[in-house]
Amino acid sequence: MSALDGLDERQREAARALRGPVAVLAGAGTGKTRVITHRIAHGVETGAFTPNRVMAVTFTAKAAGEMRGRLRALGVVGVAARTFHAAALSQLNYFWPTLAGDTAPTIVDNKVRLLAHAADAVGMDPDVGTLRDIASGIEWRKVTMRSIEDYALARPDGVGRYDISRIVDLQRAYEKLKDERRQLDFEDVLLACAGMLETEPTVAHAVHEQYRHFTVDEFQDVSPLQHRLLELWVGDRRDLCVVGDASQTIYSFAGADARYLLEFAHRHADATVVRLETSYRSVDGILRTANSLMRGRPGALELVSARPDTGDGVDGEPEVTAYEDERAEARGIAAAVVRRLKTGADPASIAVLYRAHAQSAEISAALADAGVPTTVLGGRRFFDMPEVRQAILALRGASVAPLDGGFVDAVRDVLRSLGFTSEAPPAGGALRDAWEARAALLRLAEEAPEGTTLRSFTDELTARAKAQDEPALRTVTLATLHAAKGLEWDHVHLAGLAEGQLPISYAQTFEQIDEERRLAYVGVTRARRSLSLSWARGARDRDPSRFLREIGMRNPRAAGASATGGARRSGSSTRPIRSSADPRPR
């Protein structure tokens, strides 16, 4: 069986491009992780790559873990699939003792707390919100490779009630305190690794000898600092493959710069460029909406669907609904979710997405009132929940005794001893959250391969916790658009498509509005089968989002409590976009 099996023509073209600079422009749902892993496997299979000389870099520990898992499934082990920070930290810890005669500095575990101590030293008393904004400013300064003086010129307005001179004082005090404690913060890890490679030829030579072939996922999100570190890792070699989608650049505020992706072919005149535009995620109607949002934007891809018509009446044509206020919008979404669940949909196949965390409270309350269990993405991680930790400890304790019955029965008995019941408590609140977590553990046991023991099961849970491989809960997901990136659901409700919410009120410049557009695009392309968009006029008498006009909503200001909007303009479809008070049957 070849590593190229199961790939479409364009994916196969990308996987075969093993030498020289390669750029894979991969739209949402086009199988970029599949291409990355199959390309590496093909390189190993043909002898072009040696696994332990390949570095595959991505942005989250979860994505790196998924990449390692897929490579293992293809029979490839030994590839260094890591985040930028994990790779840099590994190199620092390895070389630092030789260079400095001492262990590497420790890593700051809480930047805000350290900033508060530094603030005391310079006579400042900022609140937690201000400290967080200052911490974000420090992170931006470092990933964009600016000095404190350059930061002051780039962001002269200060933070909160403090002018820029006081922010400069605090940043200097922070750096001084960090040095005194022999600590590095998250961004320093990259800076120190880059500095080490630039100034120590023996280190650069050793790294170049170890790694010969580089792959970078989500290349649209690299910062100037990450790009510089990548250049130092690659050196004068040419085996660099980058994969990304400029339309999903949503971290510009944190230093991400899509120009490195967009200009890759100009920087590398002989680069192989492959465009992946066949989406295996979303149906046609959703992709037409996504294409409308990004048409004419730099690097935009024209996505086409490979998904067949399911014949169940779900065609992905977006439905836009207007509401008088946010409470009505939340209740309308909850009612739509309940209708979907009554058709047999799994709660885990449904998500409600929004621009800002503040929007979640009303939606969460409406779903709880409707008896729908929810999970807020970005809250506590599954394996950090006290109930999950307690269950794993209890399961490990039970593993030392002989089983009285089957493995799954033993897991169920342990969970029952901790309060798990066959009937779920009412939705909303800590009791239901704990029940859902224990139910997820039981499902993992039920899905475990034959021969699994309590001990091997707890070992697997520990490994999953380390890799951030969390099980799916049978709950409706609530998430910000930023948190939703990289995920997908059958049915997506995108709430708050009003001016001031999406685009958000403080987005004023062309670049800021374009970032908001890309956020909307990310939200739309999370949906596989159905997409519902909504907005509320609210007390501020908001207008519908300009993005609704761009996807075909005519005369959107008329869409309110007593009037319908225009018509969908998606191919030949003319299905009306109805307001929440539209009396016509659905």
Interacting residues of 252 by C-beta distance below 8 A, sequence separation 6+: 258, 511, 515
Strands 54-58, 213-216: pairing kind: parallel
Output the pTM of the full model.
Answer: 0.84
Same domain, 365 and 510: yes
Q: Is 195 annotated to bind ligand? A: no
- The 3-state DSSP composition of the chain as helix, strand, coil percent (nearest 5) reads 50, 15, 35
What is residue 560's predicted lDDT score, i.e. its pLDDT?
A: 42
d(CA 443, CA 303) in angstroms, rounded, equals 36
Residue appearing with tokens 């836009």: 320
283: in domain: no
Residue 162 lies in a domain: yes
Residues 387 and 349 in one domain: no
CB 65 within 8 A of CB 468: yes
Q: Are residues 57 and 17 in the same domain?
A: yes
Q: Select from 466, 500, 516 the last residue of a domain.
A: 466
Establish if 520 belongs to a structural domain.
yes
What is the CATH classification number for the domain harbouring 20? 3.40.50.300
pLDDT of residue 539: 82
What are the residues facing 213 on neighbouring strands? 54
Same domain? 324 vs 445 = no
Cα end-to-end span (Å), the chain: 49
Q: Which residue spans within 160-238 are E strands per DSSP?
A: 183-184, 213-216
Is residue 238 located within the same domain as residue 272? yes
Q: Same structural domain for residues 403 and 421?
A: yes
Q: Could you give phi then psi for residue 96, rounded to 5 degrees?
A: -55, -50
Q: Please tell me whether 27 is known to bind a ligand.
A: yes
Letter string b/e over residues 391-403, b meaning 16 or more CB atoms within 10 A of that residue's CB = bbebbbebbeeee
Cβ–Cβ under 8 Å, residues 533 and 317? no
Please give the pLDDT value at position 310. 57
Q: Are residues 115 and 264 in the same domain?
A: no
SS3 call for 501: strand
Residue from 279, 253, 17 nearest 133 by CA: 253
- Cα 102 to Cα 98: distance, rounded to the nearest angstrom: 8
| Residue 373 DSSP symbol | -
For residues 320 and 339, state if they share a domain: yes
Cβ atoms of 325 and 561 within 8 Å: the answer is no
| Core vs surface per residue 193-219: b (16+ CB within 10 A) or e | bbebbeeeeebbeebbeebbbbbbbbb
Write the Ramachandran bin of 544: left for phi over 0, alpha for psi from -120 to 50, otherwise beta: beta
Q: Is residue 64 part of a domain?
A: yes
Q: Where are the beta strands (DSSP E) in 377-523?
A: 476-480, 489-494
- Residues 423 and 533 occupy one common structural domain: no
Token duo for residue 42: 């093909």
Residue 3 counted as domain residue: no
CB 408 within 8 A of CB 446: yes
576 phi/psi in degrees, rounded to 5 = -70, 145
342 is in an annotated binding site: no
Same domain, 483 and 416: no
Task: Name the residue among 371, 334, 365 with its Cα closest to residue 352.
Answer: 334
Cβ atoms within 10 Å of 127's Cβ, excluding its own = 11
In a domain, 566, yes or no: no
Is 572 domain-assigned? no
Task: Indicate if 176 and 41 belong to the same structural domain.
Answer: no
Is 142 annotated as belonging to a binding site? no
408: Cβ contacts below 8 Å, ≥ 6 apart: 442, 445, 446, 448
Q: Of the residues 132, 149, 180, which one is the last residue of a structural domain?
A: 180
> Could you tell me the residue range of the domain that residue 32 belongs to?
9-88+190-276
The per-residue pLDDT string of the chain (586 residues; one tens digit each, 9 = 90 and over) reads 788 999 999 999 999 999 989 999 999 999 999 999 999 999 999 999 999 999 999 988 889 988 999 999 999 999 999 999 999 999 999 999 999 888 899 999 999 999 999 999 999 999 998 999 999 999 999 999 999 999 999 999 889 899 999 999 999 999 999 999 999 999 999 999 999 999 999 999 999 999 999 999 999 999 999 999 999 999 998 999 999 999 999 999 889 999 999 999 999 989 999 999 999 999 999 999 999 999 999 999 999 999 876 555 555 688 899 999 999 999 999 999 999 999 999 999 999 999 998 899 899 999 999 999 888 887 777 888 888 999 999 999 888 877 778 889 999 999 999 989 988 888 877 888 888 889 989 999 998 888 899 999 999 898 888 877 788 788 999 999 999 999 999 999 999 999 999 999 888 899 999 999 999 999 999 999 999 999 999 888 899 999 998 887 644 443 343 333 333 333 322 233 333 333 222 3
Identity at 517, one-letter amino acid code: R
Does residue 581 lie within any of the structural domains? no
Which of 355, 381, 318 has its CA nearest to residue 499? 355
| 101 annotated as belonging to a binding site for a ligand | no
Three-state secondary structure readout of 377-400:
CCCCCHHHCHHHHHHHHHHHHHCC
Please state whether the peptide bond connecting residue 503 to the residue before it is cis, i.e. omega within 30 degrees of 0: yes
Q: Do 411 and 431 reside in the same domain of the chain?
A: yes
299 is in an annotated binding site: no
HSE (CB half, 13 Å, CA atoms) of 193? Answer: 27
Q: Specify the number of domains making up the chain.
A: 4
541: left (phi over 0), alpha (psi -120 to 50) or beta: left
Domain final residue, candidates 425, 446, 466: 466
